[in-house]
Chains A and B, each alone.
Chain A
Amino acid sequence: MILSQDSIRQIREKAARYPHAKSAILPALTIACRQVGHLNDDIYEEVAQVINVPFVEIAEAASFYTLFPKQPVGKYLIQVCHNISCALLGADALVEYLEQKLGIKKGETSADNLFTLITVECLGSCCTAPAMQINQDFYENLTREKVDHILDELRVRV
C-alpha cells in the first residue's frame, strides 16, 4: 500500500459524508496527493478500493484535473501564475528570474530534488499580483527581494 493508514482513514471519513461514494473521488485524490506529492495508477487502484468506485473512473477524473501532478515532483512545487493579471505585472519576468535562480527551466526539477517549477492558470490572486503557490501556500505581491527571501527560507527549512 502506498496510502498511509491515516490517509485511508481521512478518505473513509470524507466519503462517508456524501450521499454517493463517487463524490469522494476528488477529496480522496486531494488527500492522497497531499501525502504522496503526486498521483499515479497505483494510487488510483488503492483509492478505488478504499471508496469502492471503479478504477477507471478514478483514472479518468484524476487526469482531468491539473492540480495533481502525475509525476514525482521536488520537495517544493512552485506554481507561478502566468495568467493575465499576473502577466501584466511581470509574471513572465518572474518565471525567468526563478529559472535563473533555481538553475532549471520551467517544467523541470532541480538536481537536488528540492524545487519543481511550473506555470499555472489564474490562482485567484489577481489583486495581489504577481503570485505563486508553493505546495499549499500562496506567495503574493512578489518582488525579486521577496522571491530571494522565500527561496532562502525554504532551503533553510530542509
Chain B
Amino acid sequence: MPPLTLRSRLRRSIGPDIDGYFFVLPTVVIMVCLIVYPFGLAVWYSLSNAFIGEETKFIGLDNFRYILFEDDIFLLTIRNTLLFAVISVVVKVVLGLLCAMLLLRIVRFRRFLRGAMLLPFVAPTALTTLAWWLILDPTYSHINWMLQHVWPFSLFDLGPYLWLGNPTLALSSVIFVNIWRGLPFFIITILAGLVAIPDNLYEAAEIDGATTMQKFWRITLPLLRPVLAVIILFSTIFTLADFNIVYVLTRGGPMNETHLFATYSFTYGILNHEIGLGAAIALFLFPILILTVILLLRLVRRDSEYEL
C-alpha cells in the first residue's frame, strides 16, 4: 500500500472538505486578532495588578474580591446597571412593538415617517446626548421652562424638577435618553418582522372568527419571537455597555447614583490608571451577558422548530 500523502492524511482526520477550512482561515485569523486576543488580554488584566507604566503581576481574583466586598460604589453600580438595562430593554420592546404595528397600518407619509423614525438612532450619540444635556440642564432646563410657561402645563404648577440632580430623576433621565435613542432600532426591526408575516394567516384567523387580541397573541407574537429575541439580545448587550449617555449627562452623579459598569470602569482604568480593576469591572458583565445570550438563543432555536 503506497504511503498516504499529507493531503490524504488530513482528509482522513478532518473530513473531505479541507478546502473549506482554508476558506474560513482569514475569518478565523481576523477573529483571533480582533476579538479573542483583546478579550484574552482583558481577562489577563482583570486577574493582574496592571497599572499604567508599572510591572504587571498575577493576583488571581483579588480585583473581583476588592470591587465586590470593599468598594461600596461598585455595589451601587451593579444596581444602577441592572435597573438601567432591564427598564430600558423592556420599555423598548413594548413601545417598539406598539409603534411598529402603528407604522404598519399607516398609509400616508409612510416613507417619510419610517425615515424620520430612524433619526435618533443614526445621529451620533455624543451629539444627541449633548442636546439632551441642554434640555435637562439644571438651571435652564427646556422641559422645566415648558412646564412653567406653556399652556396647559402651566395650569398645574409643575416643577421645576432637578432632572440630573435628584438621584431617582437622574437615573430615570439617563434611562429615558437610552430608550429615545434605541427605540428606532426596535421599531424598524419589528416592522420588518411584521411585514414578513403572511397575510393569509390573518385571513384564515378572521374566517375562524378570531378577535384582534387573539390574532396578536396567537399569530403576531409567536411569529415575531425570533426577531424579538435577536433585537433583545443586541439591545441588552449595547445597553449594558452604554457609556456616552451617562458620561455626558451626569458623569456618574449625583452621588454615584447613575454610574454604570462602563463609566466606573473608565474611571478606574483610564483616569486612575488601574487597568486591572477597570478590566475586572468591565468583565463583571460577562457572565450576565453569557446567561442572556444562552437564554435568548435557546428561545430562537425553539422558535426555529415552530411549524405552521
Do the two chains bind? Answer: no
> Which chain A residues have a beta carbon within 8 Å of chain B's beta carbons?
none
> Which chain B residues have a beta carbon within 8 Å of chain A's beta carbons?
none
